[in-house]
């Protein structure tokens, strides 16, 4: 069965169908030695080259993989950034068949849910305006929102790239400078949420995507981590794109894999400039202790309080000796005074 060339390339995971169409227009794809054009169809028996490299068309069913990634602030949604900033692809798990395709984008100052897949056709349908897939955002806004502003943003605001509007604006909580709203829209224009609020003179101080289509980002999904969609979530998200679920296309992660994936750094940095201090030997330790506490010749002189205590103790011993010597000789045990029942109190041991 013949298929359009851009669809075949997208199904191989080389990119979205729209990107493959751009490659064909740019003359980067050839079929049987001829530069391909839009509308070219292939059945898998042709020799296809992309940028001069052969592409193997596999007749086996595509194992579609879909992951949810919690994008943090500071990462860009691009494969290669000319400014050298960190991209989302630095934190994604490795993939064997195809490559990761981002379903939509989030700007560098926006965090939240990003869906990624290796199925170009699925990604294209999810992003296409005709699918009208909902996106939900949590927004923290500075300023006072009025009914007139809500009506204007739900009716539609015209920008250079078309009309944008919110389908829903819901108060989420907070007060003062920490008021949160949840907004729902079906568009995917650049900075669309921020521009709608700014058109009313309000400033978005924080923006986070919490839902794309039927999939809501789990609260336990930490920033910089990703998770594979289970079978129920995959069925629901394919229904959003108008595609059927087939078990042979479903990717089941290995059982020994953790529920969340955190990419390891590509390089390990060792701080070689900091060297450990050598441990002191037992001889050095003993010398240090003698120096701190002093030897018998260098001990501190006794204080006045200790001298008084010693003098009182000697006086008490002398008195005891004198009393014992003054006792008459030949005194029997019966004649001697009995001790008190309190053996530890010296006061009752005296005569």
Closest CA to 103 of 60, 138, 65: 65
CA 233 – CA 326 distance, rounded (Å) = 104
DSSP states of 198-266: HTTT-EEEEEEEEEETTEEPPTT--TTEEEE--HHHHHHHHHHTT----GGGB----TTS-SSEEPPPS
Rounded CA separation 27/21 (Å): 10
Tell me the two tokens of residue 83: 């400014």
Residue of 59, 107, 228, 230 with catalytic role: 107
Q: Look up 43 and say whether it is catalytic.
A: no
Using CA atoms, how far residue 346 sits from 179, 213, 321, 323, 341, in Å, is 76, 89, 15, 15, 11
User: What is the rounded distance in angstroms from the CA atom of residue 28 to the CA atom of residue 23?
Assistant: 5
Largest CA distance in the chain: 137
> Active-site positions?
107
């Amino acid at each position: 069965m013949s298929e359009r060339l851009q669809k075949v390339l997208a199904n191989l995971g080389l990119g979205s169908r729209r990107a493959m169409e751009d490659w064909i227009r740019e003359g980067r794809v050839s079929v049987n030695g001829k530069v391909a054009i839009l509308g070219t169809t292939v059945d898998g028996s042709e020799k296809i080259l992309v940028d001069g490299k052969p592409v193997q068309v596999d007749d086996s069913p595509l194992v579609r993989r879909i992951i949810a990634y919690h994008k943090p602030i500071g990462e860009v949604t691009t494969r290669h950034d000319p400014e050298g900033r960190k991209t989302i692809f630095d934190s994604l798990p490795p993939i064997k068949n195809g490559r990761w395709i981002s379903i939509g984008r989030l700007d560098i100052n926006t965090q939240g849910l990003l869906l990624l897949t290796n199925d170009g056709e699925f990604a294209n349908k999810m992003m296409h305006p005709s699918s009208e897939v909902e996106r939900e955002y949590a927004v923290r806004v500075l300023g006072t929102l009025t009914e007139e502003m809500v009506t204007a943003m739900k009716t539609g605001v015209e920008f250079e790239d078309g009309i944008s509007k919110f389908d829903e604006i819901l108060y989420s909580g907070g007060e003062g400078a920490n008021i949160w709203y949840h907004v729902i829209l079906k568009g995917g224009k650049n900075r669309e949420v921020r521009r709608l609020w700014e058109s009313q003179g309000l400033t978005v101080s924080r923006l986070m995507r919490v839902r794309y289509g039927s999939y809501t980002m789990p609260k336990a999904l930490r920033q910089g981590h990703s998770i594979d969609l289970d079978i129920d979530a995959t069925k629901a998200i394919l229904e959003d794109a108008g595609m059927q679920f087939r078990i042979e296309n479903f990717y089941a992660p290995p059982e020994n894999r953790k529920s969340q994936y955190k990419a390891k750094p590509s390089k390990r940095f060792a701080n070689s400039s900091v060297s450990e201090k050598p441990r002191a030997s037992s001889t050095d330790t003993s010398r240090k202790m003698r120096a701190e506490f002093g030897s018998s010749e260098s001990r501190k002189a006794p204080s006045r309080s200790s001298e008084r205590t010693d003098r009182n103790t000697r006086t008490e011993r002398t008195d005891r000796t004198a009393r014992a010597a003054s006792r008459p000789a030949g005194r029997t045990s019966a004649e001697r005074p009995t001790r008190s029942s309190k053996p530890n109190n010296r006061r009752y041991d005296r005569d």
